[in-house]
Chain A
């Protein structure tokens, strides 16, 4: 196996946790930035950096509502992101001999 088999965007511990967490939600549901931050255990700055990379690849989508202190950002896994995670999971299984 080579590096090519594992999606380099997902194959980073923090981004894997983000994608796996969002994938646990039913298709179409979104999660607030603050709850995601609580679940992943990252600082807001670090989380934003990883979310931006995933969003650039169209693995996640984000939506901001409201203004100022009342603003709320939600994040959701896209169908493209779900497909990418499925492919990554399969690649991991293949790499680890089906376990």
Chain B
């Protein structure tokens, strides 16, 4: 600051210093943005590291397989536990942040239901593929590594378009792209691409969110 400005009347007999006003404005804006944030940076970091551990763990279990068979036994319960915890935490935090908020951007139950149904459909199709004798490379490699990210990502991108949320739209598209790129890396490599790609996308989203809250 160049020079301390004169106090300005607050209009109610007291004085509200411009410096105090600026500090109050900054503080209130930052606090409100944090409280309204449905996907806070800390949650995105946790989700990103969780994805790294789960997908990375699966990749470690399959990378030495020739020919490709399937991930180790813990991969399925581990993946389901991560997915469930991820969904529960995301919904709980978003619900708390959006309490009392109404309007186009508010996340609705139908949004979560749509993504859940799509992910269940992905699992059902996997069962159908296995039942019809499709190769292990696809049923236990390429398909489970890519399909949930592509289908879930695109579904979430569509929902975020309706909610006018550009940041989440970008994140959802990026997740779908990670799934698609994984297809090029083979059944084992796809899990590695998922681990690094999803983690990077979520950490990037967290960085953007943290920066936006302070801007």
Contacts and interface: CB of A to CB of B under 8 A. Distances in A.
Interface of A: 1-3, 6, 8, 11-13, 16-17, 20-21, 23-26, 28-32, 34-36, 39, 74, 76, 89, 92-93, 95-97, 99
Contacts of B10: 11-13
A96 B5 CA distance: 7
Tell me what chain B mostly uses at the interface: helix, strand, loop, or mixed.
mixed
A23 to B, nearest CB: 7
B132 interface: no
A20 B103 contact: no
Interface of B: 1-3, 5-6, 8-12, 16, 18-22, 24-25, 28-29, 31-33, 35-36, 99-106, 164
A32 B20 CA distance: 27
A95 B22 CA distance: 10
Contact of B16 (A1, A13, A21, A24): A13
Given A20-B28, A20-B32, A29-B101, A96 B16 contact: no
A2 B93 CA distance: 44
Given A3-B8, A12-B10, A12-B11, A25 B24 contact: no
10 smallest CB-CB distances across A and B, nearest first, come from: A35-B100, A29-B103, A24-B32, A32-B100, A97-B2, A20-B28, A21-B32, A8-B11, A26-B105, A24-B33
Given A6-B18, A16-B28, A29 B104 contact: yes
Given A3-B9, A74-B102, A13 B24 contact: yes
Given A2-B8, A32-B99, A34-B100, 4 more contacts: A8-B9, A28-B105, A92-B22, A96-B19
Majority-rule SS of A interface residues: mixed
A96 B6 CA distance: 10
B102 A29 contact: yes
Contacts of A92: 18, 21-22, 25
30 contacts: A1-B6, A2-B8, A3-B8, A6-B21, A8-B11, A11-B10, A12-B16, A13-B20, A16-B25, A16-B28, A17-B24, A20-B32, A21-B32, A24-B29, A24-B32, A24-B36, A28-B105, A29-B103, A29-B104, A29-B106, A30-B103, A31-B101, A32-B100, A35-B99, A39-B35, A76-B103, A95-B8, A96-B19, A97-B1, A97-B3
A6 B19 CA distance: 12
